[in-house]
């Protein structure tokens, strides 16, 4: 069970869009439409922002969207705002009640 691969950093200016990738394998991301994304401001609890690849929990702005192609899932943040600056983690169900997380991406709003 290896960690999902995310770029360590991403950045964009206010108003722009940024996409963060999350690459797994055919045993996790590629096999299940159960990819989640979490926003984490240090010192706080991680917050679920996308589940089941594309679904947003109630209260999450529609500026956040998710997609998947093959073994790679992506999170797109549109209309970047200062408060979007945070660490973002993906996770995937990996069968038999196993979960694997990504290494995290630090998003900087320039």
Chain residues 1-20 in contact with other proteins, contact rule CB under 8 A? 1, 3, 6
Between CA 66 and CA 75 the distance in angstroms is 5
Q: Which is nearer to other proteins, 59 or 110 (CB)?
A: 59
The binder of other proteins chosen from 48, 72, 78, 85 (CB under 8 A): 48
Tokens 């991301």 correspond to 29
What is the C-alpha to C-alpha distance for residues 72 and 30, in angstroms, rounded to an integer?
A: 7
Place of tokens 């549109």: 78
Closer to other proteins at the Cβ: 33 or 69?
A: 33
- Distance between CA atoms of 26 and 72, rounded to whole angstroms? 10
Contact set with other proteins (CB under 8 A): 1, 3, 6, 32, 34, 36, 38, 44-48, 51-52, 57, 89, 91, 93, 96-104
């Amino acid at each position: 069970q290896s960690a999902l691969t995310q770029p360590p950093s991403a950045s964009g200016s206010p108003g722009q869009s940024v996409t963060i990738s999350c690459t797994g394998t055919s045993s996790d991301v590629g096999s299940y439409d159960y990819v989640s994304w979490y926003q984490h401001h240090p010192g706080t609890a991680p917050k679920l922002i996308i589940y089941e690849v594309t679904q947003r929990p109630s209260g999450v702005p529609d500026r956040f969207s998710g997609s998947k192609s093959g073994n790679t899932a992506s999170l797109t943040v549109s209309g970047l705002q200062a408060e979007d600056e945070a660490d973002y983690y993906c996770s995937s169900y990996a069968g038999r009640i196993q979960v694997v997380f990504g290494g995290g991406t630090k998003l900087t709003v320039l």
